[in-house]
A = this chain, B = another copy of it.
Amino acid sequence: MIADKVSDRPPTTTFAVLGLLSWGPRSPYGLWQIAEQSLAHFWTISKSQVYGEVARLEELGYVEGEEVAQDGLPDKTVFRITEAGESALDVWLADPSHEPDRFRSGFLVKVFFGHRVPHQTLLQMVQTYEEETRRGVEALRTVLDMDLPPGFEYARLTAQLGKRVGEAALGWAVDTLKELEGAKERTP
């Protein structure tokens, strides 16, 4: 079966960067900064990755870069989305398929082998997890309580999911703590 080499589509990260550029021209560094504050909750992109992605986008003709000299700061390259880029972004967005979500938790790996973990350590880990989760949930609540500027209704949707998931994890942590504290086992 000669599977005609399907012209590989760029991965999600590429289009995530392109999406940010659809808000307006930015330098890679600037893109990284806004990615950290927006997408990062469900799609982190490292700084060096952004540089790679804009280069790929430029080769594809989806963005154009322009050197900008600055005063007191290093020169930078500001990228602007092209019409081809806008089209490609919309085609990608109109495709309902997407890779499966991934969740990765080193914390849970340790819990999974909890029978070998000292009881106090386990308690401490769950406690810390509870605190971290609580802080995250509260940060999201604050964001969601603010009046978001128009056009951010969809960002709000993603934050709502984050809040609900965080609350669920928080509930788990609280109940698990009770359960672990109730267990007076002597796992030194």
Contacts and interface: CB of A to CB of B under 8 A. Distances in A.
A15 to B, nearest CB: 7
Given A44-B102, A98-B106, A114-B157, 16 more contacts: A12-B109, A15-B109, A43-B106, A43-B109, A44-B104, A94-B121, A99-B106, A102-B103, A103-B104, A103-B165, A111-B157, A112-B154, A115-B151, A157-B176, A164-B172, A165-B169
Given A98-B106, A161-B172, A169-B165, A154 B115 contact: yes
Q: How many copies of this kind of chain does the complex include?
A: 2
B104 A101 contact: yes
Contacts of A101: 103-107
A144 interface: no
Contacts of A109: 12, 15-16, 19, 39, 42-43, 98
Main secondary structure of the interface of A (DSSP, over half): helix
Contacts of A125: 96, 98
Nearest to A104: B102
A148 to B, nearest CB: 12
Interface in A98-137: 98-99, 101-118, 121, 124-125, 128
Contacts of A138: none
7 contacts: A12-B109, A43-B108, A93-B117, A103-B165, A160-B172, A165-B165, A165-B172
